Copies of this chain bind each other. A is one copy, B any other.
Amino acid sequence: MSILASSGLEAIINPHDAAPSREWVLGHLADPEVRGVCLTHSQPSDKVDDEFLKACNENLKVVSTFSVGYDHIDIEGAKRRGIKIGHTPGVLSDAVADITVMLVLMTLRRVEEGISLVKSGGWSKLPWAPFILCGPSISHPSLVLSFLGFGRISQHVLSRLLAFTSKIHPPQVQYVSSHARPNQMEIDQQFSDRFGVKVKRVERDQLASESDILIVLCDLNPSTKDYVNSEFLGKMKRTAVLVNAARGPIVNSDDLAHALSTGQIFGAGLDVITGEPDISSDHPLVKAQNCVIIPHMGSADVDTRKAMAELCVRNAIAGAKGDPMPAMVQ
């Protein structure tokens, strides 16, 4: 608010302590004095589609989203209308990496089952035996650690996970990216040198079949939607775990529920899920004992959300004034 106040621009703030209505949003977009808009990823009112773009008055120059992902925004449509898009990369990488590592540990170590057991009062009835509630070890000697997408956040996750994996038998790291670069071997060598373990780009089949821990941290776009489907899951190890901290629709929920219930994979940890936030208590993934779901909290720490708010507002102010934006979607 203080940054907005000192910008010389006037701010129209949603007056309710809840999401604004779509009508409220569209109504203000039409006002010719409105030159920019800040919005979020999470609210249906904030979807930047054809209807949204048509409602924008011609002085509106910038849409600034309080998120790094922009799959809720029609980027091409906005470009055609000369509207710039701001987002919040970088500032949330640490917080999302923290949650991702937490979900890896929770999934490997069967924490969903453990918590449910305690909550139901069933702990006292559990017979103790050496392998009760045991999961795969993260320091297992031949661990293969895989990433769907190997951008900034994946790299932060890797540097954290290497504090847990075996020092004597370091894990192999592999990732899939949208396309191989001409100097791919050189790039992978740089990654390997930087992290002190072997890192390499692989193809989709190898990612599926060799991973012990598979972490989804890529953009949602037409090429990644349903990337993890029944055919992919069918190639995975029965001891493998999957963590999605990117966007729900990259993993097909029906196929994942089937793979979890049949033991095709060991477990899953989800910060995101297709259809969120409208997830009912009888959703098959909510009911699965080998799946832990948290409500899209990846960036939810106080310092991170402050930094995202600041970057979101600075993008909007710069865009509205026609100045260079700190973080613009190209």
Contact = CB atoms under 8 A, between A and B. Distances in A.
A89 interface: no
A111 interface: yes
Contacts of A110: 297, 300
Interface string A287-315: 00000111101001111110011000000
A138 B98 contact: yes
A131 interface: yes
Contact of A130 (B19, B126, B276, B305): B305
A304 B136 CA distance: 10
B279 A121 contact: yes
B66 A302 contact: no
A251 interface: no
A131 B98 CA distance: 17
B115 A115 contact: yes
Contact of A277 (B111, B126, B129): B126
A139 interface: yes
A300 to B, nearest CB: 5
A170 to B, nearest CB: 14
A117 interface: yes
A294 B42 contact: no
Number of copies: 2
B127 A279 contact: no
A109 B163 contact: no
Interface in A201-216: none
B294 A124 contact: no
Contacts of A66: 130
A250 B98 CA distance: 28
A95 interface: yes
Nearest to A279: B123
B302 A124 contact: no
A312 B66 CA distance: 54
A210 to B, nearest CB: 19
Contacts of A117: 295
A112 B118 CA distance: 12
Contacts of A133: 295, 297, 300
A190 interface: no
Contacts of A42: 128
A162 interface: yes
Closest 8 CB pairs of A and B: A121-B281, A163-B163, A137-B303, A102-B105, A137-B301, A114-B294, A18-B127, A42-B128
7 contacts: A106-B106, A111-B297, A114-B294, A121-B280, A123-B295, A133-B295, A133-B297
